[in-house]
Amino acid sequence: MHGYKVYLCFRVLLTWCLVVAVAHQVVEKHASELDLNCESYEDGIDWPQVRENLFVFLRRPSGDHPFLDSLFAIGRRKSDCYIGLCCLGYLAIVFMSPEKRLKAMSTTLFGSVPLWDQIPLSYWDTINSKWPIFGLLEVLQSQMRDPSSPAPAHADGCCDRMEELDQRFHKVLDRQLAAGQFIPAQSSLRYLAESPSRCSFGKAAAYVALGERLLLVGSPVLTQAAKDLLALGEAQLDRCAVGRNATVFEQMQSAWPTWYSSPPLRPATSLPRPDRAPPQRLPPDPGAVGTATTEARGVHVALSGDDRHMEGLLAALQSLVLGVSDARRVCVHVFALQQELSGLKAALGCSFKDRLAEDEADPDGLFVGGVAVRIHIFTESEVLSDEMAVDAGVTVEAGDLNAPHNFVRFHLGKWIPYAQRIVYLDTDVIVKGDVCELHDSVFHHSHTVSGKVLAAVPRRHLPLSFYLKVFSPRMPIWVPSSAPSFNAGVMVIDMLAWAEHNVTGEVLAWARRNKNRDLWRHGSQPPLLLLLYDRVEWIADIWNVDGLGHYGNRSSELISKAKILHWTGPLKPWLGSLD
């Protein structure tokens, strides 16, 4: 193993040195003269595949990717794909020792010059080149912030001072980005209006945050305005240091987010945090299970059920795994109380046996038939309040709706902040269809255009007046009594829209208003109906054939066509309450 590490270190250093030499030659060319996709260069290198591999690495920055050796080899070759070579150079620096990494970023072309001297492109052009150079820079930034790394000397004159005004705005940025939410426009505008005339990294972040909001609208006019705002932010970064432009290394030392991924202009929040260990280059393990970590998988499904519904949860998970078209895309998030954890793990082991494998990279992670499964532990106080409780009569009629697991759906962003959308399923379902199909079939337009927050099957036979006391004199808003309701046990949530509309906070606010049960009797579903009845994208009935927990008269034809069967109501097959 020691010999392998020495060999690897030599290859990394050789790759980096050659990339530096080539980059010096190609950086003189103007961007307009170059093919940024690098598809026209006859150098025998598949640059689109290189770029895709770099994105795979960024989704899970570690040293066990099988393509890393080939990327290092490509980095030692000559090519006019200058931006690709720069990316490979930064990749090589990622795997250096902390001391050599610090020296490389503080003394070479990769860090000791302004970004424009390294890449003669604007931020906008760099982002739209689709090369993940900013993502690689953020990985390096997180490594250099690691407590075990040598502490760099902070550059004098760099406008990264934290006065009271800067601290307030920085807290807003930290809070919103940690929650996966957009920066409120009024916060950015207020900060820009009140901050001194000097350039600063904080003002750069504010300009970019404003540009992000405009970019999401999709209008050509506003897209141009977003580009202008990004240029203003870039100017703040470039002119930060006194008498010269700030270097890449100086930006790397900043406490502000300065590297942005392709639109929307989000810092790559799924990349390693400063408290995570830097990636170690290890020989690939041919026996490793799974191809992507929890965060890298694109289809996230949430399941939450208590001990009484353990059999239902297992059946739902089993059916989902059997029906999925691409297990590598899917991560199922299972929520449990601490006292339920040992029973849950034992039940999973008993049910799936040799199909169950542990995720070596995540102590709370498992794999079932290639589908990633992550267990989240929560407490009742995190999700349940007295205002959200359900009347006893309703509990008898509709099942145990007071279980804290029913209220997890309001707080999914807390545990899965990296998901853009989440498929939420009750644990009394059988999935006959492909959950990837459900996930991909909705939200084809941005929520800023469509106004939709979630997707669900309409219940036209159960109007809003069935759940809400729409005619109560205490109902403070008008609600269309005959509009269809929906069942929140099968829904797809646009998490960005959810955060934008502060649905979690609004639900709790309405629950406090309903303390005396003047607005509704049920617990977790009515506030969603009240808030989002006009922000739902309707999907086909076959995705939630419900009512099977009441002695309903669902037709055999509908049940045969169903992609999700749902035993809503008190009767569940695993409780022995159905013949």
Segment 551-572, tens digit of pLDDT: 666 788 888 999 999 998 888 8
Selected residue with higher pLDDT from 457 and 249: 457
Cα 569 from Cα 522, distance rounded (Å) = 13
| Predicted local confidence at residue 388, as pLDDT | 58
Q: What angle do CA 296, 52, 251 make, to 5 degrees?
A: 80
Paired strand residues for 102: none
Question: What residues contact residue 467 under an 8 Å CB cut-off, 6+ apart?
Answer: 485, 520, 522, 525, 526, 529
Q: CB count, 10 Å around CB of 189? A: 13
Assessment of whether the complete model's pTM goes beyond 0.85: no
Point out the least confidently predicted range of 103-117, 234-248, 301-315, 320-334: 234-248
Confidence class of residue 477 from pLDDT cuts 50, 70 and 90? confident
Average pLDDT over residues 11-28: 44
Average pLDDT over residues 290-303: 72
Cα 225 from Cα 391, distance rounded (Å) = 52
Residues 196-236 have pLDDT tens digits of: 777 778 888 888 888 877 776 666 777 788 888 888 888 87
Selected residue with higher pLDDT from 40 and 330: 330
Average pLDDT over residues 35-48: 80
Whether 435 and 492 have beta carbons less than 8 Å apart is answered as: no
| Predicted local confidence at residue 386, as pLDDT | 57
Question: What residues contact residue 457 under an 8 Å CB cut-off, 6+ apart?
Answer: 486, 487, 490, 538, 539, 540, 541, 543, 544, 546
| Predicted local confidence at residue 239, as pLDDT | 60
Confidence class of residue 59 from pLDDT cuts 50, 70 and 90? confident
| Predicted local confidence at residue 295, as pLDDT | 63
Question: What residues contact residue 579 under an 8 Å CB cut-off, 6+ apart?
Answer: none
| Predicted local confidence at residue 42, as pLDDT | 76
| Predicted local confidence at residue 244, as pLDDT | 65
Q: Where are the domains of the chain?
A: 2-111+130-144, 164-246, 299-575
User: What b/e sequence results for 228-240 when a residue is b if at least 16 CB atoms lie within 10 Å of its CB, and e otherwise?
Assistant: ebbebbbbbbbbb
| Predicted local confidence at residue 523, as pLDDT | 64
Confidence class of residue 389 from pLDDT cuts 50, 70 and 90? low
| Predicted local confidence at residue 144, as pLDDT | 80
Mean of the per-residue pLDDT values of the chain: 78
Residues 140-161 have pLDDT tens digits of: 888 887 766 665 554 444 566 6
CATH class of 299-575: alpha beta
Confidence class of residue 402 from pLDDT cuts 50, 70 and 90? low
Q: What angle do CA 60, 61, 63 make, to 5 degrees?
A: 115
Residue 493 has pLDDT above 90, yes or no: yes
| Predicted local confidence at residue 494, as pLDDT | 94
Tokens standing for 291? 């191809």
Residue 16 has pLDDT above 50, yes or no: no
| Predicted local confidence at residue 216, as pLDDT | 66
Q: What angle do CA 27, 29, 31 make, to 5 degrees?
A: 100
| Predicted local confidence at residue 454, as pLDDT | 95
Residues 314-354 have pLDDT tens digits of: 999 999 999 999 998 999 999 999 999 999 999 998 888 87
Residues 450-460 have pLDDT tens digits of: 789 999 999 99
Average pLDDT over residues 257-284: 41
Point out the least confidently predicted range of 156-160, 246-250, 529-533: 156-160
Burial bucket for residue 450 (CB in 10 Å: 0-12, 13-18, 19+): middle
How many CA atoms lie less than 13 Å away from 434 in the CB half-sphere?
9
